[in-house]
Structure 1
Amino acid sequence: MKKLLLLSFLIFCSSVFAQTYKVIGIKDGDTVSLLMDGKEQTVRLAHIDCPEKKQAYGTKAKEMVSDLCFGKMVSLQGDGKLDRNGRMIAELILPNGVNINITLVKNGLAWHFKKYSKDASYAQLAIEARSKKKGLWKEKNPIAPWIWRKMSKEEKASNSYAF
């Protein structure tokens, strides 16, 4: 029975990840909505964490994702896992092969989310973006989004500015 369930899950995942889907919404830099089988599906971009909307570079990250893929067809690359909010976790790939997740890190608009990703290529891309002072790495002391989310309103107010 376990083998049958595993096989069914693998077949489902391979069919989901072999198709293309229309991007119908950009929630923020690392979360998009796709139209899948006539229904909206939220996808959390794997391996990365973008600045929050009210955080420096949060708007720029969202704008880049929107410019790259809103209204376009994308394919997904991942293992079919869901996050604690029920969002599918995957990399977004444009028809021309551009990986949205990688593009964000290369441009300094996303952090490598080491807590949930052991992918060394993302770690290296983040190091390169930091050394070139791209995007958020232009800042003297950029605050990681996972730290930002835990900060008090007062702390955020003293660190919030738009770019």
Structure 2
Amino acid sequence: MNPRNIACLLMLTLPVTAPHASAGFLASEAGGVVTELALDALKKKTSSSTQNGQTAQATQKYSVEAVLDGDAIAVRSADGRTSYRVRLAMIDAPEKQQDYGMSSKASLTQLLRGSANISIESFGHDAYGRMIGIVFDERQRNVNLLQLENGAAWLYSLYAEKPAFAGYVQSFKAAEQRARMQKIGLWSNPSPTPPWKFRRG
């Protein structure tokens, strides 16, 4: 088998272990050749990668059907055939019965107002069958992050620290810290109750 064929086989069988691994940074030592076929195969692999049980999939388009609360929405697929419930990844908003719960929902409603179509980067599903996702509005703003900046949610550290979210976690931590320091939204209360404690009663 010649070096070009060996290079191709090596590239096709290389595992992709990072969610944002780029085929452009991978090279074969066999003859120093990286074939177009190998690059195409690796690009397809990187469109869906798994880390620690979380799956980052290609971003898809949806229309918003309803805002359910400060960290959950209902959406419909671009073809209009399927509806989904989406849990915004990495954040946890106050429950509706909590202080600032309805204000958090209003904040998310305002952020999505006027966005006929949104994009969602999906990270699998939670125990309730809801899609876990990072939501981007029509201007490609990160809506999950904006909820933190608005003081409308906590960083959900239990899940936000997972490897699948490594590309987002530092900016999310910084957004929450800014809201805390400026006493924005729920942080105007000197000792707000985190929703995960509220749910435990």
What TM-score, normalized to structure 1? 0.79
Give the structure 1 partner of residue 179 of structure 2.
Answer: 129
Structure 1 position 89 matched with structure 2 position 132: yes
Identity in percent: 32
SS class of match (2:102): helix
Give the structure 1 partner of residue 71 of structure 2.
Answer: 30
Q: Which runs of 4+ in 1 moved over 2 A?
A: 9-14
Structure number with bigger Rg: 2
| Matched ranges for 1:42-121 at <5 A | 42-69=85-112, 72-78=116-122, 80-118=123-161, 119-121=169-171
Shift of 1:13: 3.2
Q: RMSD across aligned C-alpha pairs, in angstroms?
A: 2.2
2, 6, 10: which one aligns with 2:48: 10
For 1:128 and 1:13, how far apart are their aligned partners in 2? 30
For 1:109 and 1:126, how far apart are their aligned partners in 2? 9
Shift of 1:77: 2.1
Q: AA paired with 2:71?
A: D
1:95-126 CA-partner distances (Å, limit 9, x unpaired) = 11211111110011100000000212211211
Shift of 1:69: 1.5
What TM-score, normalized to structure 2? 0.65
For 1:23 and 1:85, how far apart are their aligned partners in 2? 20
Q: AA paired with 1:146?
A: W
Gaps of 5+ in 1: 152-163
Higher relative contact order (CA 8 A, sep 6+): 1
Structure 1 position 148 matched with structure 2 position 198: yes
For 2:91 and 2:170, how far apart are their aligned partners in 1? 12
Gaps of 5+ in 2: 1-14, 16-44, 50-55, 162-168
1:117-143 CA-partner distances (Å, limit 9, x unpaired) = 021221121111101100111102100
For 1:96 and 1:144, how far apart are their aligned partners in 2? 30
